[in-house]
Amino acid sequence: MMDNIFPFSILPFMILIPLIGALCMARIDNSTNIKWVSIWSAAFVFALATALLLFLKDDFEATYSYYYFSFSINGLSMYFAEVMAFLTLLCTLIGRSEINEDIQKFYILVMLLESSTLMLFFISNILLFSCWLEVIVCVSYFLVRIFSGGSEYLAKQFIILFSGVILTIFGTAYIISITGAMEIHILADYTFSFTQELVFFIIFFTGLYCICGLFPAHMWIPDSYANAPAAVSVLLCGLVSLIGGFGMMTILIPIAKNIYLHWHSQISHVVFGSAVYFLLAAAIQKNLEHLLAYVFCANVAVSVVGIFSGRVEGVGGAAYHMMANSLVMAQLFIVTRAMTKTHGRDVPAIMQEKGIPAIAALPLLALLATPLLPFFNGEFFIIYSLLHKNYFFGIMLCVVVVLGTFLAIKAFGNCSYGVGEVKLRTDDFICLIPLMFLLLLMGLFPNGVVKSIGGVCGKFPFAKIAEGYGKSVHDR
């Protein structure tokens, strides 16, 4: 019993520390002190998340109630929270030298975003999930608006993200009106009619589709990533890559399991089309940051394809791929921001200058789906799941992965590493070194890093939602 209660005794501190830090920063005038309060708050949260992760057993899964709040901890939520806590810590470190105006606003928004994201990952109430999703969208919108400028893509971001939130709230209200229940585990066991599941699935999936930034809901992402500071881009990598997929795996599929069983193949085909579009769009980009943004969107689409592959291995590979996408693209955006300050944003000009820091070699190799690095592991499981069901579709996804590799080679293949005028700040190095270590750890020891998600070729314990119906219709 104590083993189940102990993680929930740590959880309130993880959620409250950023809020306490934000309250302290609101009363501090000195910018240096504000930065250090934010860094230490993020560091404490990351330390607690790591301690909790080390405590968890491979098959740990528990639910606990605090008054009106019900929390659930499992391998998926814990690893996603760990990645988000890590990216938040990187954001505070990068912002120390990058953010020179509206410092107080920036760090308060970052702390609010971290607390809200942790709540979303651990909450076991569908109504509160939708509420915290709205908070996250609002905070991220203000971060982009204040620190990136622009108006056209901000309007797109507002319309798309808030449309997604409104749809998830409508879907939540619809399902609660039928059952009167709000706890996700109760809703997952409820027997709905096919029509009820269909209505909920269409509304809720469309909302999460917008949050994920899949075609055509991606229009705000390239400009936002290109114009926002590196610290904001790092956070956006985690939010866009993790939150939408998390909602699909923990809420959408368990509640609308029959629709998932019947429609997962068709949905994976549609999302696959998004991945192809993003890579074709990336192929014609002349702006390096736009190119990376489209490659990032393509990887998000590949993750969603894995979620709707209809197999446990595909769902697990999707979770692994989402975490890898967040970390790899965060590292590339940090390096790219330093490159564009030196050489500009034009891809041919950067290739001609031949100046890329050597520290960028590892994330680029990861982006190329190099064996023993994270992207390869996630994509292997996804492709394996698709090949098991449909050889043609699996081969087509292989072609898409190869196309993404070609684009990365096109953008960076003619550049020399460790040569040129690109200079990284000390804070960038402080952030990139642990990122490189984590990428190597995830790639070389996937079973140890994601022990709660399962072994390399085994079954993923967190994907109990997929047991029995996560296999193909033919298997059943």
DSSP 68: T
Quick one: pLDDT band at residue 455, thresholds 50, 70, 90?
very low
Q: Is the pLDDT at 469 greater than 60, yes or no?
A: no
330 belongs to a structural domain: yes
Give CA–CA dist 84/89, Å, rounded. Answer: 9
Asked if omega into 229 is within 30° of 0 (cis), the reply is no
Q: Is the pLDDT at 471 greater than 60, yes or no?
A: no
Give CA–CA dist 218/215, Å, rounded. Answer: 6
> Into how many domains does the chain fold?
1
Neighbours of 1 (CB within 10 A): 5
71 belongs to a structural domain: no
> How high is the pLDDT of residue 458?
37
Token pair of 366 as six digits: 């990861």
User: 3-state DSSP call for residue 65?
Assistant: strand
CB burial class (10 A; 0-12, 13-18, 19+) of residue 439?
Answer: buried
Q: Is the pLDDT at 145 greater than 70, yes or no?
A: yes
> How high is the pLDDT of residue 77?
81
Quick one: pLDDT band at residue 446, thresholds 50, 70, 90?
low
Q: Is the pLDDT at 27 greater than 50, yes or no?
A: yes
Minimum mean pLDDT range among 347-361, 409-423, 450-464: 450-464
> How high is the pLDDT of residue 259?
85
Q: Is the pLDDT at 302 greater than 70, yes or no?
A: yes
The tens digit of pLDDT for each residue in 394-407 reads 777 777 777 766 66
Token pair of 63 as six digits: 């639910």
Q: Is the pLDDT at 447 greater than 70, yes or no?
A: no
341 belongs to a structural domain: yes
Q: Is the pLDDT at 476 greater than 50, yes or no?
A: no
Single pTM value for the model: 0.82
> How high is the pLDDT of residue 168?
92
305 belongs to a structural domain: yes
The tens digit of pLDDT for each residue in 103-143 reads 888 888 889 988 888 888 888 888 888 888 888 888 888 88
Q: Residue 265: which of 460, 471, 76 has the closest Cα? A: 471
- Single-letter code of the amino acid located at 410: K
> How high is the pLDDT of residue 296?
84
Give the residue-averaged pLDDT of 420-425: 54
The overall average pLDDT reported for the chain is 75
The tens digit of pLDDT for each residue in 73-113 reads 777 788 888 888 888 888 888 888 777 777 888 888 889 98
Quick one: pLDDT band at residue 462, thresholds 50, 70, 90?
very low
433 belongs to a structural domain: yes
DSSP string for 29-87 = --HHHHHHHHHHHHHHHHHHHHHHHHH--TT-EEEEEETTEEEEEEHHHHHHHHHHHHH
Quick one: pLDDT band at residue 445, thresholds 50, 70, 90?
low
Q: Is the pLDDT at 459 greater than 60, yes or no?
A: no
> How high is the pLDDT of residue 474?
36
Q: Is the pLDDT at 383 greater than 60, yes or no?
A: yes
> How high is the pLDDT of residue 461?
31
12 belongs to a structural domain: no
Minimum mean pLDDT range among 7-21, 189-203, 453-467: 453-467
> How high is the pLDDT of residue 425?
61
> How high is the pLDDT of residue 465?
38
Quick one: pLDDT band at residue 68, thresholds 50, 70, 90?
low
The tens digit of pLDDT for each residue in 182-197 reads 888 788 888 888 888 8
Q: Is the dihedral of CA 366, 367, 369, 375 positive or negative?
A: positive
Give the residue-averaged pLDDT of 216-243: 80
Give the residue-averaged pLDDT of 420-443: 63
By residue range, what is the domain housing residue 467?
261-476
Minimum mean pLDDT range among 144-148, 200-204, 286-290, 401-405: 401-405
Q: Is the pLDDT at 475 greater than 50, yes or no?
A: no
Neighbours of 476 (CB within 10 A): 9
7 belongs to a structural domain: no
- Single-letter code of the amino acid located at 69: F
Give the residue-averaged pLDDT of 418-433: 58
DSSP 415: P
471 belongs to a structural domain: yes
φ, ψ at 417 (rounded to 5°): -100, 135
> How high is the pLDDT of residue 1?
39
> How high is the pLDDT of residue 456?
30
Which positions ≥6 away from 12 have C-beta within 8 Å? 66
Give the residue-averaged pLDDT of 155-183: 87
